[in-house]
Amino acid sequence: MKKLILSFVLCTLILTKLSFSTSIDVDISEEIKSKIIYEVENISFNVVKFSTEFYNIGSIDYNARARVFVYDNDKLIFSGWSQERVLMPGDKKTFDIYWYSNYSGNYKFKLRFYFGNEIIESEMKGFQINETLTSEDVFDISNFRTYDNYIVFDIKSKKDVKDVVIIPYKYVPSWIFEQKTLDNIKKDSIKTVLINFYPPAWRPFNITLAIAAENGKYFSQKNFQMKKEEGLIGLFNSILDSLKLLVL
């Protein structure tokens, strides 16, 4: 009887060992994938909002952003970037980009989505601006300063305004320059704004900042030279700007 029990135990141990030795390690394939769920343009007089929802259908997370190209016939007249966002597997997020126009007419646009090291581009689509507003210049932009990968400036408005959009224009085409939105700006108050940019290599240049509010009812623009803050003055301004952004 003892021999029978011992034989049973030995057989069990051998079978267990064999089962472990023949086990197979299964690796989950890591894939960078995305899907455009919808894209739409929302036209409110002078301001056009391009919205695109993207879906991370892959198995790993990535940083992502969208870019829009606007054409008048076949001539490229505007290119703008969204802010960068992180998409985890299964995430769906909307990316918004704005364009301001003084003129009604027929235009075309296409969207490009950058994620991981991949790109998706939509087909060209047409849209129409039927009516525009005569804009009122109410914004003052001051204290413009440039740092390694962001700019800081102050905005003051002559009126209470809402739905504010800040659009960088006329910058180096190879740079990424994000846009900014603000819920409102109170009359005679000062709003300090930070906008990120991403240069492949730094060099000074001029940039035009445009500010639109309430569908283009209010609009201002101003040109600035982008020249990095340096030395003790640059350090002082950096500290000052950081404090202003925390307080305001």
pTM: 0.83
Strand, helix or coil for residue 243 = helix
Q: Is the pLDDT of residue 5 over 50?
A: no
173-211 pLDDT, tens digit per residue, is 889 999 999 999 999 999 999 999 998 888 888 899 999
Same CATH fold, 139-247 and 35-129?
Answer: yes
Domain ranges across the chain: 35-129, 139-247
Q: What is the pLDDT of residue 29?
A: 60
Superfamily (CATH) of domain 35-129: Intracellular proteinase inhibitor BsuPI (2.60.40.2360)
Specify the long-range contacts of residues 139-146, CB closer than 8 Å, at least 24 apart: 139/211, 139/213, 139/218, 139/219, 139/220, 140/220, 141/209, 141/211, 141/220, 141/222, 141/224, 144/224, 145/229, 145/237, 145/241, 146/226, 146/227, 146/228, 146/229
Which of the four pLDDT bands, split at 50, 70 and 90, describes residue 36? confident
Domain 139-247 has CATH 2.40.160.40: no
pLDDT exceeds cutoff 60 at 13: no
